[in-house]
Amino acid sequence: MSESLSMYQASVPVLQRALRNLREILRKGQTHAQSQGYDPAVLLQSRLYPDMLPLLRQVQIATDTAKFAPARLAGVESMRFDDTETGFDELYARLDRTIEYLGSFSAEQIDGSETREVLLPTRSRGDLRFDGRGYLFGFVLPNLYFHVSTAYAILRSNGVPLGKSDYLGGN
């Protein structure tokens, strides 16, 4: 006997966990830089490749992806951030605000959004249209995991001792 997975269960707790794990990955990066005697801020501008976005933007985009998801699924306006962070403490605060904001959504607001029309404005591809299920599983989760994975890879490529368990986090 199995229970079906609701849109709420597939979104809010999953997004919160990914952001908590990202916060811990960042903390380990900051701690590593300090223990090695260099300014942790160097990591925030690190990239995997010159034409890719730096660590700082990876975190900002991950939080944007996460905070817009339940709002769009619930059909409400999302909170906005100005993308003015320049240091680790500001990124931790942004992550914490996003995790708290995600917790403000109830299952009643999200469940049943599988067929809700979601309009996603983009700079490069115009407005993308999804149903709720397609938005969550075809855009939100892959995009979030891309940016969290890239943040992990940036830190790892800078010698931060991270492993798969850091990415996956606790239960």
Expressed as residue numbers, the domain containing 142 is: 7-164
Q: Report how far residue 160's alpha carbon sits from residue 30's, in angstroms, rounded to the nearest whole number.
A: 9
Residue 169, domain member (yes or no): no
Residue 2, domain member (yes or no): no
**Domains of the chain: total:** 1
pLDDT at 42 over 70: yes
Q: Report how far residue 19's alpha carbon sits from residue 25's, in angstroms, rounded to the nearest whole number.
A: 10
pLDDT at 2: 58
Structure tokens at 132: 């709720």
pLDDT at 122: 87
Residue 77, domain member (yes or no): yes
Residue 1, domain member (yes or no): no
- In this prediction the pTM is 0.94
Q: What is the DSSP string of 13-59?
A: HHHHHHHHHHHHHHHHHHHHHHHHTS-THHHHT--SSTTSPPHHHHH
Mean pLDDT on 122-148: 96
pLDDT at 1 over 60: no
**CATH code for the domain of 122:** 1.20.120.450
* Side chain identity, residue 154: I
pLDDT at 40: 96
- pLDDT tens for residues 49-100? 999 999 999 999 999 999 999 999 999 999 999 999 999 999 999 999 999 9
Mean pLDDT on 29-57: 97
pLDDT at 131: 97
pLDDT at 121: 87
In sign, the C-alpha dihedral spanning 119, 121, 127, 130 is negative
- Cβ burial of 63 (10 Å; 0-12, 13-18, 19+) is buried
Structure tokens at 106: 């109830």
